[in-house]
Structure 1
Amino acid sequence: MNTKTLGYSTMIVSAALMGCVGLFARNINTSGDVIAFTRMTVGALCIFALMLHQGKFHLIKSTKLSPTVVLSGACLGLCLAAYVSATQYTTLANAVFLIYTGPVFSTVLAAIFLKERISPLTGGLLTAVFIGCLFIIGIISYDPNNGITMSLSFSKETFVGDMLGLASGFGYGLYLFFSRYRTDVSSDSRSFFNFVSGAVAIGICFMIKPPSLAEMDTSSWIWLLAMGFFIGFGALTLLTIAAKHLKAAELACVSYLETVVGAGIGIMMFGESLTMLQTLGGILVIGGGMGEIVISMAKKHQSIKNAQLDS
């Protein structure tokens, strides 16, 4: 499997799993920072055990830590804490959209500081998925009387959740940006240090505001541990692999698939509605994300074919 195929495959699965965050979070009776801390801690333990089993512990010992390695993990942990909290205080669609302002932010940073070129085609696809998110969130809406309207307003009922969503988007953008540095570090080691750095960052927050587990029951603990494994160890490890093999703009296009998963769960599990324009937004998200994959794979296939003809 070539690096692009590996990157796209892992990113698709990671985005699908990440889209289930709201489903898990709404079944756990504790704060978002506790949930995120559990995800990072379970992820660290699982990846450590896996590397130990595969005889790769030397990769952890030989990794030279740098500020970007530590910062990427810390930003990931803090953005997930804010995101999980956002899903508990606002709609799933709002929370998902606001965290996905991050990939746009990271794409701009990568273009400026890492000189990653954004092709017109990739830029167009990224624009399409971003507009799709605006449809899903309802910022661009339609009604027979006023036609298509565009507005961004925060109600008092969802203000806290929306602000946490914005904070999660900022943190996610920084995580994706910092992940583009030190691609020499193996995916296994990078995942381990991401998990550890994220857990430490959230742990520092606990020192400022101690968490409460008073309302946790048996069902909450089961959901929490399952989330730690599937959406902690599983989704975040795959995301780390994808970030190593894809450019920031490519990551951004595919990552928006999570918005469709999150909105779909909101409709099916929590009775949240979806208008025709929001459905169109989902189509744009899927089309833009898959378009980037299909075009990239077609170019790869054509280059291989041309190389075979030349030889």
Structure 2
Amino acid sequence: MNSQSSLSFIFLAIISAICMGTIGVLAKFAVFPAEHITFYRLFLGAICLLLYMLSTEKKSQILHKPSKRTITNGIMLASFMVCYIQAMSYTSMANAVMLIYLAPLLCAVIAHFIFSEKLTIFNLFTIALALIGFAMMMQFSLSIPGSKNESLGILYGVLSLFSYSAFMLINRKPSNSTPYQSTLVQLLSGALCMLPFLILSPETPSITQSFWLLAIGIIPGFIAILCAVKALRNLPSVTFGTVAYIEPVAVVCFAWWLFDETLNFMQLIGCCLIIGAGIVQGILSQKRVVG
């Protein structure tokens, strides 16, 4: 791969990270229940991906028998998304996204016991660094003054963390499905998980809400995932993983710009520690694979 091609795929990874980061903003503007937002993100994302595959040479990949693991991934994807959106309803966008980005470090710990991937002293150091960063983000308290529902927001954030970690761990094993097939099945199975919630508590969106829900399906649902698939096929995992840390930075910027959610100096340092620890963990994991 020449440098120009590499830069184009890095650009796609950046677009994916920024688009992923828009879900919090769009969800706040939509003012709709988290399970409904998750359904529209997954379902409309699947429809867009299906149309894309039909219009390209990928249409032959649409009809296939999905594996149980891919369907399970879809369930984890839906769980992660709905808990993440719920977390942002009770705590700040920065707190919610930083919890999610503890997932690579949690996966490293779980993989130590499940996949016999030994933790080195450097791995333990990055995990400790991220935990210190998280404690600083929370200002060393799970109940920030002035926010009665902060603890509930953190609980949803932790649930999204575990769901996302399970999603990552399940995806560790190679699959016979192509990235497009896996993505399509995961989006559809995740949407089906959310469908009962829509049936039990139906709500008709207004014209304005419909616009925001459509944007959710297209931007963080379709564009973000398609760009990620294309980038992952052509970039080393450490490069993509490092670029992905643009998402929490984007979320913090969106929160500050649009909703006046500010971070004090301690919380900014905590953000930097979590992001830095995640990047170092990715580099260490890549070196272990190469070695």
> Which TM bucket (shorter chain)?
0.7 to 0.9
Alignment-derived partner of residue 193 in structure 2: 201
Contact (CA 8 Å) 1:126, 1:288: kept in 2 or not? yes
Kindly name which structure, 1 or 2, has the bigger radius of gyration based on alpha carbons.
1
- The reply to whether residue 112 of structure 1 matches residue 103 of structure 2 is no
* Cα distance in 2 between the residues matched to 1:56 and 1:195: 17
* Cα distance in 1 between the residues matched to 2:48 and 2:108: 30
Contact (CA 8 Å) 1:14, 1:238: kept in 2 or not? yes
What is the CA distance between 1:288 and its match in structure 2? 4.3
Q: Residue 161 of structure 2: which of 149, 154, 169 is its match?
A: 169
Q: Secondary structure at the match of 1:27?
A: helix
Change (3 A) 1:73 1:242: farther
Change (3 A) 1:224 1:175: same
* Cα distance in 2 between the residues matched to 1:116 and 1:254: 24
- The reply to whether residue 271 of structure 1 matches residue 245 of structure 2 is no
Q: Secondary structure at the match of 1:156?
A: coil
Change (3 A) 1:242 1:116: farther
Change (3 A) 1:282 1:130: same
What is the CA distance between 1:5 and its match in structure 2? 8.8
1:191-220 alpha-carbon deviations (Å, 9 max, x no partner)? 10111111011113334x42423xx33322
* Cα distance in 2 between the residues matched to 1:115 and 1:12: 32
Alignment-derived partner of residue 222 in structure 2: 233
Alignment-derived partner of residue 212 in structure 1: 203
Change (3 A) 1:264 1:194: same
Contact (CA 8 Å) 2:97, 2:248: kept in 1 or not? yes
- The reply to whether residue 183 of structure 1 matches residue 175 of structure 2 is yes
Q: Which runs of 5+ in 2 are unaligned?
A: none
Change (3 A) 1:107 1:294: closer
Task: State TM-score, norm by structure 1.
Answer: 0.75
* Cα distance in 2 between the residues matched to 1:86 and 1:166: 9
Amino acid at match of 2:173: Y
What is the CA distance between 1:82 and its match in structure 2? 1.7
Alignment-derived partner of residue 141 in structure 2: 151
* Cα distance in 1 between the residues matched to 2:202 and 2:157: 20
1:188-247 alpha-carbon deviations (Å, 9 max, x no partner)? 11110111111011113334x42423xx33322212111211101122344556777776
Q: Secondary structure at the match of 1:223?
A: helix
Alignment-derived partner of residue 15 in structure 1: 17
What is the CA distance between 1:75 and its match in structure 2? 0.8
Contact (CA 8 Å) 1:83, 1:95: kept in 2 or not? yes
Alignment-derived partner of residue 58 in structure 2: 56
Alignment-derived partner of residue 307 in structure 1: none
What is the CA distance between 1:20 and its match in structure 2? 2.0
* Cα distance in 2 between the residues matched to 1:84 and 1:273: 19
Change (3 A) 1:204 1:57: same
- The reply to whether residue 261 of structure 1 matches residue 253 of structure 2 is no
* Cα distance in 2 between the residues matched to 1:8 and 1:113: 32
Across the aligned residues of Structure 1 and Structure 2, the Cα RMSD in angstroms comes to: 3.7
1:37-72 alpha-carbon deviations (Å, 9 max, x no partner)? 11101111111111111122222324x422211111
* Count of matched residue pairs: 284
Alignment-derived partner of residue 26 in structure 1: 28
Amino acid at match of 1:78: S
Q: Secondary structure at the match of 2:261?
A: coil
* Cα distance in 2 between the residues matched to 1:110 and 1:55: 37
Amino acid at match of 1:151: S
Amino acid at match of 2:97: V
Alignment-derived partner of residue 160 in structure 1: 152
Amino acid at match of 2:186: N
Change (3 A) 1:77 1:295: closer
Q: Is 23-32 or 12-21 further displaced after alignment? A: 12-21
Instruction: Give the % identical residues.
Output: 28
